């Protein structure tokens, strides 16, 4: 009785498969490299521009100096904008988290009817163009001012409300990702041992989603601190955030101090990311 021979794949098919794998790797690396270039090149160029000695930027520069950093730190418009941006970002992040935590828990546990639709609705500010969202908030606040005779546009509370709206999707998305990975039996065990709901929340649930909570706070702060579109519609005259202060300065004068202020803004965000990653590795939640 003859035994049929077992043949492996034809050399031609192996070559085709290897070529496909190689092509996939090349495309993947090309996309990664393109993303890195699009992210890093503007930062490198702005940093380079901030060191130019010329008051009017020219390439190549006549020399390099740090005087524009001193000029931006002495610019009262930039300092005021930086202070307001920090305050608004901190307040909006804190209030946004207070609102997001119970909402995320309820949505993760499907305790709210039409939970999937609610998630998509709350993610809306992340999808809608920021300039459209800013215009919509402006019109809404004007109508509220007429109806209730309360100042919304041009007030710090109105600006904070607008920034809360754009920070909620980030914290909600990261918290939901962490809550969906929590073992429900751990919370059930705590409740069966007599723990009250608030104790379960503070002693069990929040520690389990701590990485997502910290990452949500970080992304919310960055989104609020660097926002331009919402702030353009809602700030009061003379009380501008840092991005608006930079934009207004560019309308009248173009010198490397603007680039220096932008580098300092990037540095604040980078330091925040690095400090957060020191305590909660962002690879766990991002």
For the record, the structure tokens of 221 come out as: 């702060």
Average pLDDT over residues 63-72: 84
Q: Spell out the long-range contacts of 100-107 with Cβ–Cβ below 8 A and sequence spacing 24 or more.
A: 100/168, 100/171, 100/172, 100/175, 100/216, 101/175, 101/206, 101/213, 103/172, 104/171, 104/172, 104/175, 104/176, 104/179, 105/179, 105/201, 105/205, 107/172, 107/176
**Number of other residues whose CB lies within 10 A of the CB of residue 286:** 13
Domains located in the chain, CATH noted: 69-284 (1.10.3720.10)
The pLDDT tens digits for 174-207 are: 888 888 777 777 777 877 777 787 787 777 777 8
Q: How far is CA 135 from the centre of its chain?
A: 21
pLDDT above 90 covers what percent of the chain?
Answer: 5
Separation CA 153–CA 281 (nearest Å): 39
The pLDDT tens digits of the residues spanning 227-286 come to 888 888 888 777 788 888 888 888 887 778 888 888 888 888 888 778 777 766 666 555
Please state, in angstroms and rounded to a whole number, the distance separating the CA atoms of residues 168 and 97.
7
């Amino acid at each position: 009785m003859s035994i049929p021979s077992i043949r492996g794949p034809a050399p031609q098919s192996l070559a085709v498969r290897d070529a496909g794998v190689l092509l996939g790797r090349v495309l993947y690396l090309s996309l990664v490299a393109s993303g890195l270039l699009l992210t890093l090149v503007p930062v490198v160029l702005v940093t380079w521009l901030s060191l130019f000695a010329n008051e009017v930027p020219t390439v190549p520069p006549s020399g390099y100096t740090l005087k524009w950093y001193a000029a931006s730190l002495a610019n009262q418009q930039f300092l005021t904008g930086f202070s307001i941006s920090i305050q608004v970002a901190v307040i909006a992040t804190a209030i946004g988290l207070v609102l997001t935590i119970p909402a995320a828990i309820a949505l993760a546990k499907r305790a709210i009817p039409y939970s999937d639709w609610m998630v998509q609705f709350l993610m809306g500010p992340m999808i809608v163009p920021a300039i459209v969202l800013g215009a919509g908030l402006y019109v809404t606040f004007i109508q509220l001012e007429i109806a209730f005779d309360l100042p919304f546009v041009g007030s710090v509370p109105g600006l904070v409300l607008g920034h809360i709206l754009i920070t909620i999707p980030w914290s909600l998305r990261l918290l939901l990702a962490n809550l969906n990975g929590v073992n429900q039996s751990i919370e059930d065990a705590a409740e069966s041992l007599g723990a009250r709901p608030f104790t379960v929340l503070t002693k069990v649930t929040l520690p389990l989603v701590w990485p997502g909570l910290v990452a949500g706070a970080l992304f919310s702060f960055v989104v609020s601190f660097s926002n331009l579109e919402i702030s353009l519609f809602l700030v009061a005259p003379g009380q501008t955030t840092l991005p608006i202060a930079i934009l207004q300065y560019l309308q009248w004068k173009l010198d490397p101090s603007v680039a220096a202020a932008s580098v300092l803004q990037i540095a604040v965000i980078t330091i925040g990311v690095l400090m957060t990653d020191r305590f909660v590795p962002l690879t766990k939640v991002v």
